Structure 1
Amino acid sequence: MKRDLPTAPVAACQASCPPADEDLLAECPFAYTEPMPSPAALRLEQPASSRAMQTVIHGRRVLRNILDRRDPRPMVVVGPCSIHDPVAGRDYAQRLKQLADELADSLYLVMRVYFEKPRSCTGWKGLINDPHLDASCRIADGMREARRFLLDVADLGLPAATEVLDPLSPQYLGELLSWAAIGARTAESQIHREIASALPMPIGFKNGTDGGLDAAVNAIVAASRPHSFLGLDASGQVAIVRTQGNRLGHAVLRGGGGKPNYDAASVAQARNALQKAGLVPSIVVDCSHGNSSKDHARQKQVLQDVVTQWQAGEAAIVGVMIESFIEAGNQPLLADPAQLRYGCSITDACVSWSDTETMLREAAQALRQLR
């Protein structure tokens, strides 16, 4: 699915280099730019309703209260590994909203809405980067689609969560998010720690892909402090961003290095590391990734173990993450996207909707019995 680059920018580059000097011509960058609407322009084009903003603000408030131990319910960040089909994503959101209302006495459900996918090498990089699934990389279209999707989810009354990957995306979407994550590959990144210090919602920092927790702990500390850095303002102007720090950072245990870290001993180790750094020990367990050994069906086992820890009085675990979609498993991205199975992930494998309902209802019932 290779797309030919436009010839005009290449011609312009060639015109700027002396044609007789092939060495200089070789130094011309094989890159070009195209216009992107500013964050302010996109917000004006797709404004948030009062209901949507009430959902976001309420979600942030509840999650803050969970982290501050003023709300005893665990958070559950649950949803597709990534959003590739907005129609199926909206279908999932409507189902999740009904389940969230049903279980609201015991669990606080937040929809996982991931638009950007970090890649170790190559692959589809998410709805924002390639919304048409054809390597055309119409990023402006993708950002519009992502914002429209978040607005629809918020209008349902369902809070949303995502991973912050591109440093500019929060200016376009951040106002619509109640929770965000910094991934295992970017927790060591200075710019991501600085961005987290500016965001107005709780931020979960994942442990490293090797399973180590140091990067996440250091990131939580760094993000809690004020920073000044180069960024983008709402008009699209490069600006100096000055932050006050985000005190709502917490750790996300996702396994790594070939082994899980959701068990009681690993949680105790993480709790002690956070306390040693002078932090409130708040931990979210990611039931997928290294903790499930990339087997989506094992997420149920991880959740059951976490519930057992709650029953034993483990207060450091404030929530879980689950990768879930309408259909179980995953599928490869096809040359013809119309041939993809409806409601099935094209990135990491997910548990089915029916299994999601069972898992969360059982967890809620176990928590009710603790009262």
Structure 2
Amino acid sequence: MSDPTMPALQAHDLDGLRRFLAIRSHTEALAAPLSAEDQTVQSMADTSPTKWHLAHTTWFFETFVLRPHAGGYEVFDPAYEYLFNSYYEAVGPRHPRPQRGLITRPGIDEVMAYRRHVTDAMTAFLSVGNASNAGDIVELGLQHEQQHQELILMDIKHALSLNPIKPAYRAPSGRTGEARALAWREFEPGLVEVGHDGRGFAFDNEGPRHRTWLDAFALALRPVNCSEFLGFIEDGGYRRPEFWLSAGWDCVGQRGWQAPLYWEPHDGTWMIYTLSGLEPLDPMRPVCHVSAFEAAAFAKWAGKRLPREAEWEVGAPMLDGLGEVWEWTASPYVAYPGYREPPGAIGEYNGKFMANQMVLRGGCAVTPRGHVRPTYRNFFPPDARWMFGGIRLAEDLQ
């Protein structure tokens, strides 16, 4: 959460109100190119329909800001407390996550009416003097909505990729990768400080700041590109168990992995499904949509390893390609020394997931820019591929 010394969003802060409205509008702009059918579909248990994201981010402000802090607020529909709760056990029961795509009603029009109702109430709330006592939770709500903006694009990409006609969400960007040799930055051994320093917003899992020892290591200055990963494929990387963790090798066999998610062979060449539809593989772009198992297997094949998250954070200011793909680390997602979950339901935001997940760092092409910072700790299970996960290599130095 934000540090107590950080100024909360104040009632008289017109810039803060404009930011609130801009973030809410941007979420709706992301959904605008999608049909009602697009927004209702759920392609697997790990994803959510766009319509659900629109409603859940609204539920957050209604549940944690308006209901406890805005006197006289009228709940839009009591049934939404059950339908659009994500995982907050302290708030009450919720609709099962794998069945969110079955919520055909309320429809898009009703969900948008819900958004307008809550946005109007929040606008009024933020425009009066007593709004400052909820500034921290409002800020968390805004950061939370931006996280869901990224999830909207991750999830709809997966859904559209399963459509045989391979529809595009948006026009091609025309962006191509740069041909850069793989260079390295070396770091001396030493005691370092990592974690958020309390200045500006941070999620609770980014702190507390603490010291840790690092032996000498080196980091690649850019992420692994598609051409390099193609070399792994062509060398039989998905057929050679010596490169794989046991659980990863099980995934290869059980799920038939032969390449990163969204890679498709066509007439002897590789095509990749993107948010702009099916495109030829760009060998210089960072490889994307690989699991932690694939990242670790590639690193072992290359004679390297994945960075530990403290190494990545120390090296981040000197690295290239940050914010292109989320970069898997070798670190499990666990609490920092001295970490304490915030009290109440908000304590369920990050801490309860600190098991069986791996840390990713850096951000990706669809990450809100304010979330691309060295201390941000993203986390997913090691077999996850639909998020924009990529690879940066590390190695030990003598």
Shared fold (TM-score, shorter chain, > 0.5): no
Q: TM-score range by the shorter chain?
A: under 0.3
Higher relative contact order (CA 8 A, sep 6+): 2
